[in-house]
Chains A and B, each alone.
Chain A
Amino acid sequence: MTGPVRDRRAATGDGGRGCPAGPLDLPHASPIGQLRQREPFPDAARVALRDSQLRANLGRATATIRAKRAAAVGEVPDWEALRLAGAAVKDDALDRLDELLATFSERVERAGGHVHVARDAAEANGIVCRLVAETGVGEVVKVKSMTTQEIGLNDALSAAGVHAVETDLAELIVQLADDLPSHILVPAIHRNRSEIRQIFLDHMPGVDPALADEPEALAAAARRYLRDRFLHASVAISSANFAVAETGTLVVVESEGNGRMCLTLPETLISVVGIEKLVASWADLGIFFQLLPRSSTAERMNPYTSTWTGVTPGDGPRNLHVVLVDNGRRATRADPIGREALRCIRCSACLNVCPVYERVGGHAYGSAYPGPIGAVLSPQLTGIEDNWSLPFASTLCGACYEVCPVRIDIPDLLVELRARHVEHARTKAKGAARRRAGDALEAAVMAASGWMMGGPRRWAAATRVVGTLSPLAARGLLDHLPPPLAGWTESRALPPLPRESFRAWWVRTQGGRDIDGAPVPAPAPTPTQLPAPMPTQLPVPSRARDLPVGTPTPAAAGSASARPSPPVSAGASAAALLARFAERLADYGSGVWFTEEEGVAAAVAGRVRGGLVLAAPGLDPAWLAGVPGAAHDDPSRPAPELDAVATAVTACRLAIAETGTIVLDHRDDQGRRALSLVPDHHVCIIRAEQIVAGVVEAVEALDPARPLTWISGPSATSDIELRRVVGVHGPRRLDAILLGAPEDLPPSAEPAPPRPSAAPPTPAGGASPSADSSRRYRPGLRASR
């Protein structure tokens, strides 16, 4: 079959660098990059379907994540209202795109950053390559980023002599294997642990030849390999999950801590951001910080979220460049139907539920964006003809729309794109597109059936043909039909063909008189007023403020699974907030300890297992009294020196009960961002009154001008077979010491076990102020008040 690709890049993708924008019969400037399929989906799928290992890997992984997502979403009573809110916020931002872009750019510049604008992939790559060249480095570290994949940045950098090190575990696996990503969130979802072990053994410099294939061992190997690179990198490249216009803030949502490393340690940070990532206001993040983690990794909150606004003196990169990328987005925005696709927050929930994706994987889509959203987004960004077969790669089963956190009606968009392709083929196509035999035949069949169905006489005649074929079918003569119907008969028998159509029978029997229509013994009384069918479309509010927030919709109420516990309300008691926070943080694998004010020093000492202990510069020295040799951090010391520190001790800005999240805004009692990142153990002291109920309350209370780190447990990854492994690049241990009034602490927690090391010796026979009297949280523990 003749390929549809009129692509000017090489088959492996040269990333579109330096390609002149040429004439294309598209309604917009040519976006280039890794967005175009190289062969039609059915052909690519055929290859993938032959790989039984791939299908097994995908089937297991997607089944795992589907179940987890359903549980994470089922816990939120107003999920449907949240989806409506997410959709409305994104629609609003798209409506006001130019205004918001201007505001965003002005705020970033005011905060010390630099903003660049790129119309397409080539321009974006050119800007990034120039910025990197100005620093003189030959290697950059990268945060996992769909946008830089879309524009083919790594290839462009490589051509400019710069090696881009992918630091997300799955991206690293893909990069080491010289493979292509196959999933938005888990790019190596198509690989199992033994394949990954082999890739590491073959391609990871300095890897232990005795490497085991346990996900824990593989994650540890990646940690060892990348740590040096993080500590010595001077340029990092990221994209952003969200860009907040009113504050000029960028947001990266991640799990492993590789993002924090890249966003914190290098001197220069270049963030490549698609213009659809804009949201109008800081408060909007309160919606997406609920929608995104539950939809993507199926967690209440992902381990780490970083937000930053420009540069912060003494903390993090000194140079910030934001490259705003169009690459087909403005053209998509101008499309009144297709613009809905720009709501996408790249959660990949639609991939995980898609029965087509589950069987063929991501490579068959031939674009940086696979799965149902890719089947919409890729053709929207490139123009339909460059990805014409993708919208047909769906049964329109609707599972994608059902889970989409921003209510993108993917089936509707797929149908619309199909229609545009058909119309293009009918009216404008020349050459290859016209010659596609399947298209021509299909068009003829569709036109003929349309004519045949144009009136009951023609249709009745057509149904009579079925009757004449009936004896042939009965003799098995229709078991193997020629193309395109061979696509049917290769795997399915035709049904027995009837000799008489329904309508012929109806006419012959004068209205079905031969039917046994005896009524059932006790027919129910017929209502005089017909109830209308179930409402199936919820009204979509035009603005976020019109939202019915907090009102469970019928759909949400009907689909919610059993909830372990209803959310704590904003007005909950300190004891209730403390208990919920402890339960949720412990769920992530963190140590959670309760103490009263006078027990903090001992509680801190009880968590230390030897090695250097460094505290935030402004942390109360009394809290360190139990740890001899503990020092306060000197922010002027180079961050790589923190690698020698075993334990970092900090306070926090606030904590979130519902998600078990600690938020640092890196003031004096919390220290610079690197302090709670580079050491392998983080002890965080949280006062009960710092705990707020939910994400929305947290967003309201936080200052977006500060760099913020949202921490939900130790660093973690699910990149290998979607199994959660605790401990990657960020701290592998997180201990939270919850400091409360006696009446707020849970009543019956067990005391901490004696610590073998580092804890100061307790004088015999008596309650010493330095004895650790903190009590560890255990599941099942609840506050009594």
Chain B
Amino acid sequence: MRVALFVTCLADALFPDVGRATVAVLRRAGCEVEFPLGQVCCGQMHANSGYRREALALVRRHTEVFSAFDAVVTPSGSCAAAARHQHATIATRAGDEDLADAARALAGKTYELSEFLTDVLGVVDLGASFPHRVTYHPTCHSTRLLHLGERPLTLLRHVRGLELAPLPDASTCCGFGGTFAVKNADTSTAMLADKMAAVRASGAEYVTAADASCLMHIGGGLARLRTGVRPIHLAEILAAREGGAGA
């Protein structure tokens, strides 16, 4: 199957390992992966910050770049949710019904990685090995907009050597919220403090999630406190092989 990787602007610029891991996982699951170089950003940050003129241009580009593919896979619950829930609305409110139709069509074939693996490919065991104690943070958009539910946990349970540590109050937001993290930095930090306390209480060595953005926030807090608990994207765990031969 030919799938287009929508790597997300954040992973492209700051977390290329997440992109490489996603490519590895998809190839192992039997997919031919393409990376359309015209892609940039889904526009979520602009839209959610109120800059819809900028967002509209990005939605248009995103839709043009990806519409020709059978399936678009992204290692981000939040960006998948933007394509699925936000793009058509942005287009409609800008009065562009053609774009809204195209966005809706694209939304119907846009998948977050764990969703694509379990629902579309029917793969839960990717032969991964990651002998560590890991806790999983269900990010808000992957939980409440995509309803990923057990999918990421099912994938993690099939990873060799991985010990899954339950995260207390798992579904509570970590406090990232895009520009919220900067505009309401104090409140964001208070939420982060509680999330970090939960991560530490889990006793995990790694905290993982389906979103690099939330992990950047949680991991940044954990690093500042020198807790030793490290953030790692779900795709990176799924790509990890015995002896460390991962992505």
Task: List the interface of chain B (C-beta within 8 A of A).
Answer: 1, 7, 9, 11-17, 19-20, 23-24, 27-30, 33, 35, 37-41, 45-54, 57-58, 61, 70-71, 84-85, 89, 93, 107-111, 115, 119-123, 125-127, 140-141, 144-147, 149, 171-173, 175-192, 216-217, 219-221, 223-224, 241, 245-247
Contact = CB atoms under 8 A, between A and B. Distances in A.
Contact of B224 (A491, A498, A517): A491
Interface in A383-436: 392-399, 401-402, 412, 415-416, 418-423
Interface residues of A, number: 88
Interface string A463-504: 100100000000000000000111110111111011011110
B30 to A, nearest CB: 4
A212 interface: no
A41 interface: yes
Contacts of B47: 415, 419
Contact of B146 (A454, A484, A500, A536): A536
Interface of A: 41-42, 45-46, 49, 55, 337, 355-356, 359-360, 392-399, 401-402, 412, 415-416, 418-423, 438, 442-443, 446-447, 449-450, 453-456, 459, 462-463, 466, 484-488, 490-495, 497-498, 500-503, 505-507, 511-512, 515-521, 523-527, 530-534, 536-537, 555, 558
Contacts of B35: 503, 506, 511-512
Given A396-B178, A512-B23, A488 B185 contact: yes
Contact of A395 (B28, B121, B145, B175): B175
21 contacts: A55-B190, A396-B178, A398-B140, A401-B144, A418-B50, A419-B50, A422-B52, A423-B50, A453-B9, A453-B41, A453-B54, A466-B13, A487-B185, A490-B189, A492-B181, A498-B14, A500-B16, A502-B20, A505-B20, A536-B145, A558-B149
Contact of A359 (B29, B121, B190): B190
A412 B146 CA distance: 16
A503 B34 CA distance: 12
Nearest to A467: B13
A487 B178 CA distance: 12
Nearest to B220: A492
B51 A512 contact: no
Contact of A533 (B23, B111, B127, B223): B111
B28 A359 contact: no
A134 B62 CA distance: 66
Nearest to B176: A395
Contacts of A486: 185
B195 to A, nearest CB: 9
A266 B103 CA distance: 60
B119 A520 contact: no
Given A422-B50, A536-B147, 8 more contacts: A45-B186, A49-B187, A55-B190, A395-B178, A446-B54, A485-B182, A491-B220, A521-B127
A611 to B, nearest CB: 50
Contacts of B172: 355
A524 B121 contact: yes
A490 B185 contact: yes
Given A455-B40, A459-B40, A498-B14, A412 B175 contact: no
B221 A492 contact: yes
B37 A503 contact: yes
Nearest to A424: B50
Contact of A505 (B16, B51, B180, B184): B16
A527 B45 CA distance: 34
Nearest to A491: B189
Contacts of A42: 183-187
A65 to B, nearest CB: 15
Contacts of B192: 491-492
B54 A450 contact: yes
Most chain B CB neighbours (cut-off 10 Å) among A415, A438, A456, A521: A415
B224 A493 contact: yes
B164 to A, nearest CB: 20
Contact of A422 (B37, B49, B127, B184): B49
